[in-house]
Structure 1
Protein backbone atom coordinates (compact mmCIF):
# COMPACT_ATOMS: atom_id res chain seq x y z
CA UNK A 1 0.00 0.00 0.00
CA UNK A 2 2.76 2.42 0.96
CA UNK A 3 4.88 1.59 -2.11
CA UNK A 4 1.82 2.05 -4.34
CA UNK A 5 1.11 5.46 -2.82
CA UNK A 6 4.73 6.62 -3.12
CA UNK A 7 4.88 5.65 -6.80
CA UNK A 8 1.63 7.51 -7.50
CA UNK A 9 2.73 10.61 -5.59
CA UNK A 10 6.12 10.70 -7.35
CA UNK A 11 4.39 10.53 -10.75
CA UNK A 12 2.01 13.35 -9.84
CA UNK A 13 3.88 16.70 -9.61
CA UNK A 14 1.12 18.26 -7.46
CA UNK A 15 1.42 15.47 -4.89
CA UNK A 16 5.21 15.74 -4.93
CA UNK A 17 4.98 19.50 -4.31
CA UNK A 18 2.52 18.99 -1.45
CA UNK A 19 4.79 16.35 0.09
CA UNK A 20 7.74 18.74 -0.14
CA UNK A 21 5.75 21.50 1.55
CA UNK A 22 4.60 19.15 4.31
CA UNK A 23 8.17 18.03 4.92
CA UNK A 24 9.29 21.66 5.05
CA UNK A 25 6.54 22.54 7.54
CA UNK A 26 7.41 19.52 9.67
CA UNK A 27 11.07 20.59 9.66
CA UNK A 28 10.20 24.18 10.66
CA UNK A 29 7.88 22.94 13.43
CA UNK A 30 10.65 20.70 14.75
CA UNK A 31 13.10 23.62 14.86
CA UNK A 32 10.55 25.90 16.56
CA UNK A 33 9.70 23.20 19.10
CA UNK A 34 13.42 22.64 19.77
CA UNK A 35 14.03 26.36 20.39
CA UNK A 36 10.96 26.63 22.65
CA UNK A 37 12.31 23.74 24.72
CA UNK A 38 15.71 25.44 25.05
CA UNK A 39 14.15 28.81 25.96
CA UNK A 40 11.82 27.13 28.46
CA UNK A 41 14.79 25.43 30.15
CA UNK A 42 16.75 28.69 30.34
CA UNK A 43 13.75 30.63 31.73
CA UNK A 44 12.85 28.01 34.35
Structure 2
Protein backbone atom coordinates (compact mmCIF):
# COMPACT_ATOMS: atom_id res chain seq x y z
CA UNK A 1 0.00 0.00 0.00
CA UNK A 2 2.75 2.41 0.96
CA UNK A 3 4.79 1.63 -2.19
CA UNK A 4 1.76 2.16 -4.41
CA UNK A 5 1.02 5.50 -2.77
CA UNK A 6 4.64 6.57 -3.15
CA UNK A 7 4.71 5.60 -6.83
CA UNK A 8 1.47 7.47 -7.43
CA UNK A 9 2.80 10.60 -5.74
CA UNK A 10 6.06 10.42 -7.68
CA UNK A 11 4.21 9.97 -10.99
CA UNK A 12 1.91 12.87 -10.21
CA UNK A 13 4.90 15.09 -9.39
CA UNK A 14 6.65 14.20 -12.65
CA UNK A 15 3.47 14.92 -14.63
CA UNK A 16 3.01 18.27 -12.90
CA UNK A 17 6.62 19.22 -13.59
CA UNK A 18 6.18 18.27 -17.26
CA UNK A 19 3.03 20.40 -17.56
CA UNK A 20 4.77 23.42 -16.00
CA UNK A 21 7.78 23.09 -18.32
CA UNK A 22 5.52 22.68 -21.35
CA UNK A 23 3.44 25.69 -20.27
CA UNK A 24 6.53 27.87 -19.95
CA UNK A 25 7.88 26.80 -23.35
CA UNK A 26 4.58 27.50 -25.10
CA UNK A 27 4.02 30.81 -23.28
CA UNK A 28 0.85 29.57 -21.62
CA UNK A 29 2.02 30.58 -18.15
CA UNK A 30 3.36 34.03 -19.03
CA UNK A 31 1.83 37.07 -17.39
CA UNK A 32 0.55 39.42 -20.07
CA UNK A 33 -1.49 41.73 -17.85
CA UNK A 34 0.72 44.70 -18.79
CA UNK A 35 -0.50 44.39 -22.40
CA UNK A 36 -4.09 44.76 -21.29
CA UNK A 37 -3.24 47.74 -19.07
CA UNK A 38 -1.68 49.54 -22.05
CA UNK A 39 -4.71 48.74 -24.21
CA UNK A 40 -7.15 50.01 -21.58
CA UNK A 41 -5.21 53.24 -21.06
CA UNK A 42 -5.46 54.20 -24.76
CA UNK A 43 -9.27 54.30 -24.74
TM-score (norm 1): 0.60
- Is 1:17 matched up with 2:17? no
Distance 1:22 1:16 in 2: 10
Gaps of 5+ in 1: 1-14
Gaps of 5+ in 2: 29-43
Distance 1:39 1:33 in 2: 10
Distance 2:20 2:11 in 1: 14
TM-score (norm 2): 0.62
Q: Which has the higher helix share?
A: 1
Q: Which has the higher contact order (CA 8 A, sep 6+)?
A: 2
